Amino acid sequence: MIWTLVAAVVVALPAPMYPATDSITMARLQYDGGGDWYANPSSLPNLLEAIRDRTGIPTRSREATVTPLDPGLRDHPYLYMTGHGNVRFSAAERAALRGYLLSGGFLHADDNYGLDESFRREIAAVLPEAELTLLPADHPVFHTVYDLDDGLPKVHEHDGQEPQALGMFVGGRLAVFYSFESDLGDGWEDADVHDDLPDVREQAIRMGVNLVVFALGQAAP
C-alpha cells in the first residue's frame, strides 16, 4: 500500500532518487450536494510536480479521484477537497470518511469561497467528538520543509479576513486540516489562471509541500 512510502519521506531531503513504481499521488474527493468538487483542475498536478522537484519524493503526474465509498479510499494517505458550493455526505459516506480518518487518513479541506458552512456541518457529523481548532504558526505543519513563520498564507481576498488554518485531532494526530480564507488551490493553479503574484503562488506551493510531507509523515503505521 501507498502508506508504506512514508519511509521515503524521512530520507527524502535533499532530493534522493526513488523508483518510479513507488510514486505517490493525492486523492481528490468527489462529493454530492451541488458543490464543484472538481474546481482548480491544474492545482494538484502542479503541486505534485513541485513535491517531486523540491523534495525528491516520487509523485504521479495527476491526482486520483475518489468518492467517500470508493474501495480504494484508504490507499491514499492525503485526501483533498475543495469547491465553492454545498457539500453533502450520506450516512454511509460519513461512516466511511470517519473510518478513513480514524485509521490514519488525512483530509485537507480547502475553502474555495462558498464551502465553509456546509463543510463545517458535515465534518462535525463525521467527527462529532473533535472540534475545529485554530493551529498556531509554530505548529510543525508550517515548518516541515519550509518555515512559514506567519502560518497559512493568504492567496485570495474573499471576505478580507485573515487566513485561518484549522485542525481536528484524533488521538493527538492531526486528521483534518481546513484552510479557510486562504484559497491555496488557486495559488497552485497555472500562473495565468488567476494572475496571482509570483510570491503569493510561491507561498501557496510551499504550504502545499509542507502539508503533503507532514501528512505522509503521520501515515506511518
- Which string of b and e fits 162-183 if b means at least 16 CB within 10 Å? ebbbbbbebeeebbbbbbbbbb
pLDDT for the residue 218: 85
pLDDT for the residue 156: 77
Kindly give the parts of the chain with pLDDT less than 50: 1-21, 220-221
pLDDT for the residue 194: 77
Domain range list for the chain? 2-218
pLDDT for the residue 22: 62
d(CA 199, CA 8): 29
Name the class of domain 2-218.
alpha beta
d(CA 9, CA 216): 7
pLDDT for the residue 16: 33
pLDDT for the residue 17: 32
SS3 state of residue 62: coil
| pLDDT 10s digits, 16-75 | 333 344 689 999 999 999 999 999 999 999 999 999 999 999 999 999 999 999 999 999
Element (H or E) spanning 208, and its range? helix 198-218
